[in-house]
Amino acid sequence: MQRGWIVWSGLVLALVGRSEQLSMIVLNAEAGQNRIPPGWQIKVNRGTPELTLAREGDSSFIHMKSHRSSYGLERGVDVDPVEFPFLTWRWKVTELPAGGDFRRSRTDDQAAQVLVAFADHRVVAYLWDSTAPKGIMQPASAIPLVHIFAVVCQSGAAEANRWIRETRNWREDYERAFARPAPRVKGIRLQINSQHTGTSAESYFGEVSFRKSIQ
């Protein structure tokens, strides 16, 4: 994970779409000539981003590769914890950074991360880690004024090379992490990095949305 990327001012706050107020879709990848989907920005921490939009059958997705690099896609949002407490996304990992483990700074690389930034500068990070056990939840290293809490949703290669749909109650995860009521979500980031281990990683992201309930 990266510590210096939480800069939400100036980001586009418009939402991609709403569907009868039951969900708030923040990423609906559409294959085409553009490198990134509308409303999102590339943020590079190190190296050169290798990112494309692609389609397979009826599904569009973002394809991300990392070769000793660290970058992500981010956008500003404004999400109420009562109205849309669930976050859902689809992701697939085809290459894990060898030896990656968020619990040590020298190995803090992941093939895929979904990071949720809150109005109080706190962050909940959902990870597909190479080594840390699935289900582990603990604080990660923090930069000044930004506290990061990591949740390992997938670990290792057991589910690699197939699409996984994740659903998290981000409001409950925040309250469990920081022992206080969850504020509004102000930003979201999809990230890949492999610079600490000096290796490579590859992942894919499909639709990302905030929802009223589990579907």
Structural domain includes residue 210: no
Containing 172, the helix (H) or strand (E) segment is helix 170-178
Structural domain includes residue 81: yes
CA–CA dist 64, 39 (Å, integer): 18
What is residue 38's predicted lDDT score, i.e. its pLDDT?
Answer: 81
The CATH number linked to 181 is 2.60.120
Structural domain includes residue 206: no
Total number of domains in the chain: 1
Structural domain includes residue 95: yes
Residues spanned by the domain of 105: 17-201
Structural domain includes residue 209: no
Closest CA to 8 of 112, 115, 83: 115
According to DSSP, residue 105 is labeled G
Q: ∠ at Cα 147 (142, 153), nearest 5°? A: 95
pTM over 0.95: no
Structural domain includes residue 186: yes
What is residue 142's predicted lDDT score, i.e. its pLDDT?
Answer: 54
Q: Does the pLDDT of residue 171 top 70, yes or no?
A: yes
Q: Does the pLDDT of residue 197 top 90, yes or no?
A: yes
Q: What is the pLDDT of residues 87-134, one digit of tens each?
A: 999 999 999 999 999 999 899 999 999 999 999 999 999 999 999 999
